[in-house]
A and B are shown apart, each in its own frame.
Chain A
């Protein structure tokens, strides 16, 4: 059979493609950090603080130490030395401050802070002994009530890298607001939210005979954890390797190295054996979280709906020891055109762990308040909420006055509204009803940064024609394995099965943490470049082969298909890659390439992904029972590499947005300083019954400034705006404006 007949490998990029790691995951062959075994593995169990603030006076561990199987109990009073400088504890994405050091001192900053680690021969023995460890505390007054601490809020003196502080005021907000004919001002409160990935944190440290450590860790950045652990424990970087081949969800909580990694390595080094430490679900609630937030938004517009004044102030909780910062209020200066803006952002210290980036950090919180306020303004002006957004549409980033590299938000508005049936909406609240239920339509805009970061990738072609691409990226359930396989397969015209993707290993080529929705665009671009370079090498070698049919061929004249290079118009004239390797006397061909964002180009444009979210809610008028039977999310995210995994990302974001709107709430006892609902039964996330029909559509958007793939990320845009769309629909249904999330039924009772 001539090669042409079998060379019709379809392109994978842009087509719905099943996850290449799916079969491994559903059959349990994909191993997670706490599933690796090692000879002589010891098990660590963390003992947590019972109080929220104060000092540990003494750890009583004698009874626990007598338990069979107990090896050692670590605490601030008994632990190996670690780095003294804060710098060593500051990871790639640490905010300013003094990073938390497990067992660093006797100080207690937050309830459930780890105070001891019991290491034993079995998990059960460690857990059992841990229940016998008690502590005496000197208790000091804790602070967990943001409402009360708002008065103590401060402008963080040191700004967090990569997070733009609020821009300087534009125009004269106060005067414009005073003079405007239509205005609103309101306070919006967000409950603390917890990432709650299914997979709990766990670290298995496998200690080799030569003392080198192989660390299986749940993380979004193997190289971040590796550098951190090397710094904290003063190890040569060559002595430590971190693997995170599969990650069972993260949503940002695994961006920073976790306490389980520090404690497992600490124990492994001290005991000179392999150690595993896992967190309980309860302890997962003592990690970083989406902070409590109190916001005030004041908006004014003319009778025509054109914005005249925007003020957005936010106060966010942070820990006693770090100034965690997000871009919360900036969105209110960039999203719509307005000449008079005033934006401010401050922090208040609370006795909690440091908050941690959670799916679209800052935007999820800030755009909620802005978009709820826009709905209030639309109502005050008597203008359709969608029409208000369209009238204030901006072709430039209001904060920087830069044009957008691409912004198909208008298409999101139009196509989303058409799909949803927005035109059927009656303007007045409480004007739609069916049986006992009031019906409401609400919408909101979503926006998130489209970022690209430097990534290096490697591509290796074997003699059997198989292709391997690799970079130290992570797949936290987003589909990284799959999209990289698609890109590589298309580069060489191979079926997906012939491509192996290796990620999740600090030993691979350089890749920053997986976050910020930058992985598809950045890792994808680097793999694409490595493949292109590898093809150049292969063609150069093919040209040099004796009697090569490709002797004169240039890259644009050939096609790579199914392990062959052939003339594009004449597939019979070519050579197999296996023959190329044989002729070169090589077992494989290999190239490494780096994708580097074009800073100059980036400096001239603002790059964001956008969405328009439309929600229908139904509220039982008498009982407050609330349903969201359908929701449309129209997304402008540049080129869509894989419509199937892309849709899944948006679905996940939307569901998380529903949780934010209706369910998720860390409940603190203010007297005890303690989160009380630290389990899945009582910390509510949406269940299937809460999730109606979610219709995801991607509008056409041509992006050509962010790298050659034209891709923007999709991991986060799905959540931004969703809670506001739901809250706005609730107002439309009931006439009742609930500004404190989550909107539980008691808040809707008349």
Chain B
């Protein structure tokens, strides 16, 4: 039984007030994940704050040449926006790798960040799950964990964050704009999602009452050398087993800057800035990619069904870097891996 009240504010301050006022209040936008969770008796909000009337649907230019995507910009509108496609094709590609056209028409930018894990145990209220009900245990560790994490796990939780978009946003150093009772603040996307530790119920670093208003993607120059490579159990409409967002800037035939974020393997988009830095100035060749992959995957641990992700991720990183450097990004419509 879920008894909740429902409000539909028209301004951000009103939304924040409604959100902060009641413990257990939750925001609903596209509802593509939350409505499922409500139906499964997994999400049990005390209040639903429908933010669809907030003025957060714009994609705005920023002073540095980047873009600021309002929290309510749909995945489809973001992916097909000419500025997004031209300046951040990596982001457009990652969005189009996810879900289905119907879902992308409804799902929003803010909601994408807040979607919950696809761990099978999380979705089944009849079984224990520390993320859903802290302290009940994690049967996934010894159970069906094919789609679960190999990095950033804890003894309490091995869930992954399922987003494709966030993986690209992490590689693009995106910043999340939030408004809360104490005012506005910005959170780097790489700090937005958290590893479970002993609080697997907390997916992110939002404080109580904070609302995502926008995601800003700062200017970058990865329009030529990028790729989003997503590997999954069928060729569309499946969550990533492993995905790689790769962006490279070359200078005189050498790697000037490299960014790589992994999806499907961790509770958050997985980056290693130090490993990326080590590749600066290196020749773009397979051996360098392999060494980088090993560093990025350092400490990875499988749980049985998902052991294969270690080897698969390593190969996917190498292939993605090969695609990015060659300037042949993975197509999201032709399913042949370039």
Contact = CB atoms under 8 A, between A and B. Distances in A.
Interface in B1-41: 1-2, 41
Interface stretch (B166-174, B210-218, B268-276, B307-315): B307-315
A669 B141 CA distance: 11
A280 to B, nearest CB: 9
B126 A674 contact: yes
A50 B312 contact: no
A674 B127 CA distance: 9
Contacts of B85: none
A274 to B, nearest CB: 26
Contact residues on B (Cβ < 8 Å of other chain), bracket:
20 to 34
Interface in B136-172: 139, 142-144, 146
A623 B143 contact: no
Interface in B290-338: 308, 311-312, 315-316, 318-319, 335-338
A620 B337 CA distance: 7
Contacts of B311: 749
Most B Cβ at <10 Å: residue of A50, A622, A663: A622
Interface in A100-137: 111, 128-129, 131-132
B195 interface: no
B315 A622 contact: yes
Contact of A624 (B41, B124, B312, B318): B312
B335 A672 contact: no
Contact of A745 (B2, B312, B319, B335): B312
A678 B121 CA distance: 11
Interface residues of A, number: 42
B238 interface: yes
18 contacts: A67-B1, A131-B1, A620-B336, A623-B231, A625-B235, A625-B335, A667-B120, A670-B143, A671-B139, A674-B127, A676-B124, A679-B123, A686-B234, A687-B237, A688-B236, A689-B235, A689-B236, A746-B241
Consensus secondary structure, chain B interface: loop
A746 B337 CA distance: 16
Interface string A639-664: 00000000000000000000000110
Contacts of A218: none
A744 B146 CA distance: 11
Interface in A727-750: 744-746, 749
A414 interface: no
Nearest to B312: A749
Interface of A: 50, 67, 111, 128-129, 131-132, 435-437, 618, 620, 622-625, 627, 662-663, 667-672, 674, 676-679, 681-682, 684, 686-690, 744-746, 749
Contacts of B64: none
A749 B144 CA distance: 20
Contacts of A131: 1-2, 41
Nearest to A49: B126
A668 B143 CA distance: 8
A671 B144 contact: no
Contacts of B199: none
A684 B234 contact: yes
Contact of B139 (A622, A669, A678): A669
B231 A745 contact: yes
B338 to A, nearest CB: 8
A532 B335 CA distance: 54
B246 to A, nearest CB: 14
A745 B337 contact: no
B233 interface: yes
Most B Cβ at <10 Å: residue of A128, A623, A749: A623
Contact of B144 (A663, A676, A679, A689): A676
Closest CB pairs A-B (n = 5): A689-B236, A746-B308, A689-B235, A676-B120, A50-B126
B118 interface: yes
A537 B143 CA distance: 69
Contacts of B142: 671
B312 A677 contact: no
A690 B338 CA distance: 17
Interface string B23-67: 000000000000000000100000000000000000000000000
A137 to B, nearest CB: 11
A623 B139 contact: no
A620 B120 CA distance: 28
B336 A671 contact: no
A678 B120 CA distance: 9
A669 B238 CA distance: 21
